[in-house]
Amino acid sequence: MSKFTMQDIKGVIPAMLSFFDQEENVDLSCTERMVDFMIDHGADGFYLTGSTGACFTMNAEERNSVVKTVVQKVNGRVPVIVHVGDIGTKKSIELAKYAYEAGADAISSVPPFYWKFSKEDIYRYYKDIAESTPLPMVVYNIQLAGLMDMDLILRLSDLPQVQGLKYTARSHDEMGYLKEKLGKDFMIYSGCDEMAFSGLCAGADGIIGSFYNLFPDLYKKILKKVQESDIQGGMKLQKIADEVIFSALKYDFPSVLHGMMRWRGLEAGYSRRPFYTYKAEELSALKEEIKKIKEKYQTTELDIFGI
């Protein structure tokens, strides 16, 4: 059973990568190492088997193996949210039930995608999944699956099990309005890595993102700057993170993160096709760009990459 309430799930939450071996099998040993690394460097929780976690390249058994491994390795140190989205409500419900039985603290899902679903279809999808387990549900608003309008989000928030929103959009004025309207007990997570500082300032309870796999420690410092009302300091750290992100996004994502994590001395596994696995020399130009960012800001924050 979960030891955390929805209100305990806050702070810096990596949308965890899934790690594969060279034969593209799920690498559970690597997954365990990454759990410890991220917790040791400031992660306040995990968001599993989402789009960053290449969930749609895995079957249900593989996704469940990641969930079981992470929940056991975390061992109650931080909360775990499991993304259960799939093309098909029945499939998502089965993933949600497994997450509950494995000991997850919350579930989440992108809205149904690929086909053009109506608002009523989307509402029923979330209602059916939310009612399938006792776990709180985090609705996921993201451009990749089609942004929901405010009316639908507010309607979904009336469902008893829907207790959070992962908001991956740049309209932080709307996100702040939703936080104000829905109240302190309805948790909102900003999902744009490059706008984490802005999202936290707008009232987000936490941040969930891909680059927190790479440097959760840097984002923990950004969170601290917000808590201290140090606007100038927070903006500087965000700019450093952003320049690294913009340089990295010239490459295939999220595959590039595996290569960059190796710069931190980590055995960070491989991607699964069609995602590309970079050879070390293919990222040499990126490493040079990051050296220039380090020199530009005269910062020690990027010393973690050994450059």
Say whether 119 is catalytic.
Answer: no
Say whether 224 is catalytic.
Answer: no
Give the type of residue at 297: Y
Going by C-alpha positions, the residue among 273, 275, 272, 269 that lies closest to residue 252 is 275
Q: Which of 166, 179, 225, 294 is catalytic?
A: 166
Q: Which of 140, 189, 251, 270 is catalytic?
A: 140
Spatial neighbors of 3 by CB under 8 A, at least 6 apart, are: 76, 105
Count of CB atoms within 10 A of residue 133's CB?
20
Q: Which two tokens stand for residue 211?
A: 């680059």
d(CA 26, CA 49): 12
User: Which DSSP letter does residue 133 get?
Assistant: S
Tokens 């509950």: give the residue: 100
Going by C-alpha positions, the residue among 55, 52, 56 that lies closest to residue 14 is 52
Which residues does the annotation mark as catalytic? 140, 166
